[in-house]
Amino acid sequence: MTPNLQKIETLVRQLLVELGEDPNREGLQKTPLRVAQALKFLTNGYRADVQQVINNALFTQATGGMVIVKDIEMYSLCEHHMLPFFGRCHIGYIPNGKVFGVSKLARLVDVHARRLQLQERLTEDISREIMESIDAKGVGVLIEARHLCMMMRGVEKQNSTMVTSSVLGIFRDHLATREEFLSLVARRTL
């Protein structure tokens, strides 16, 4: 379902009034429309088709090694306060005859991050999507993020970082594989 920008714009205008602002003052005249457009963009993951995102960029490759993409920037909105959280996602998987085109992993992160989310669920969603898309032998996903709902309000802790992980298949079943993934993700390169 495509968001009704006109309706969202009306609701944002009403919200500004309820907050004690004048939506007709110069600085706020176009704010309701800008907020509506921003929310449409920031939640486009609801309308994304994962198969179109992957776009058949799955390639046959016989390899037993681990594939890792680190430091994928991600931005999402906390479902509790609709405030941003942002950070880095690290993905590792062991192929089972198929590999992703490398940019597709970043695109999968965006699809799942561009929804109202919990970081814990986001981590699980990404790992499951990768596992199911290529029938991987195993998948590991680690997300490190900073939450504005914790930094700007509530406890107001500016330097806190939340870390979540999801391991499936051989990453869950074999400690050595999980430890290899975590050590390679922790290693700073370039």
Q: What is the CATH number of the domain that holds 142?
A: 3.30.1130.10
Region 114-138: what's the mean pLDDT? Answer: 96
Predicted confidence at residue 20, as pLDDT, reads 97
Average pLDDT of the chain to the nearest whole number: 95
Predicted confidence at residue 1, as pLDDT, reads 83
Phi/psi at 144 (5° precision): -115, 120
Residue-wise pLDDT for 63-112, tens only, equals 879 999 999 999 999 999 999 999 999 999 999 999 999 899 999 999 99
Specify the number of domains making up the chain.
2
Relative orientation angle of helices 102-113 and 119-134, to the nearest 10 degrees: 140
Same domain, 56 and 91: yes
Compute the distance between CA of residue 86 and CA of residue 120 in angstroms, rounded to an integer: 13
Same domain, 13 and 84: no
Same domain, 160 and 89: yes
Angle 63-57-71 (CA atoms, 0-180°, nearest 5)? 75
Same domain, 167 and 90: yes
Same domain, 107 and 26: no
Predicted confidence at residue 188, as pLDDT, reads 78
Residue-wise pLDDT for 139-168, tens only, equals 999 999 999 999 999 898 889 999 999 999
| Residue 187: pLDDT over 90 | no
Q: Is the pTM of this model over 0.75?
A: yes
User: How buried is 50 (Cβ within 10 angstroms: 0-12 exposed, 13-18 middle, 19+ buried)?
Assistant: middle
State which residues form the domain around 150. Answer: 49-186
Region 42-70: what's the mean pLDDT? Answer: 91
